A = this chain, B = another copy of it.
Amino acid sequence: VGFTRLTPLSEAIAWIDRAVAGWVEVERLSLREARGRVLARDVSAEKNAPPFDRALADGYAVEACSTLGASTYNPLTFRLGDSGGAIFPQASAVALGSPLPANADAVVPLDHVEKDEAGNTFEIIDPIAAGANVERAGAAYSRGTLLLRAGLRLGPGHMALLAEAGIGAVEVVRSPRVQLVVTGKDLVTVGDELPTGAVFDADTPMLRGLVERDGGTVEICMTDRNSAHAVRTAIAARNTDLVIVIGGSGLGANDAIVVEALGRAARPGDDGLSIHGVALRPGLSSGIGRVAGMPLFLLPGLPVACLWAYEMLVGRAVRRLSGRSPELPYPQREFVALRKIVSNIGFVEVWPVRGVADTDCIEPILAAAPDSAGGLFSTVAEAAGFVLIPEASEGIPSGTRTLVYLYDAHRPDSV
A residues in contact (CB < 8 Å) with B: 1-2, 31-32, 35, 49-52, 56, 58, 93-99, 109-111, 115, 135-136, 139-141, 147-149, 152-153, 155-168, 186, 190-191, 194, 196-197, 199-210, 212-213, 250-255, 285, 300-303, 306-307, 325, 327, 331-332, 371-374, 376-377, 379-381, 407-411, 415
Contacts and interface: CB of A to CB of B under 8 A. Distances in A.
Contacts of A115: 1
Given A136-B373, A167-B190, A373-B140, A410 B327 contact: yes
Given A94-B252, A153-B408, A52 B197 contact: yes
A52 B56 CA distance: 71
Contacts of A152: 415
A3 to B, nearest CB: 8
Given A93-B252, A111-B251, 14 more contacts: A1-B115, A2-B111, A58-B250, A96-B300, A96-B301, A135-B372, A147-B381, A157-B206, A159-B205, A159-B206, A160-B203, A160-B380, A161-B377, A163-B202
In the complex, the count of this chain's copies comes to 2
Contacts of A99: 197
A95 B252 contact: yes
A168 B159 CA distance: 36
B200 A409 contact: no
Contacts of A56: 371-373
Contacts of A252: 58, 93-96, 110
9 contacts: A1-B111, A32-B208, A35-B209, A58-B250, A93-B252, A110-B251, A136-B373, A159-B205, A162-B190
B168 A190 contact: yes
B379 A140 contact: no
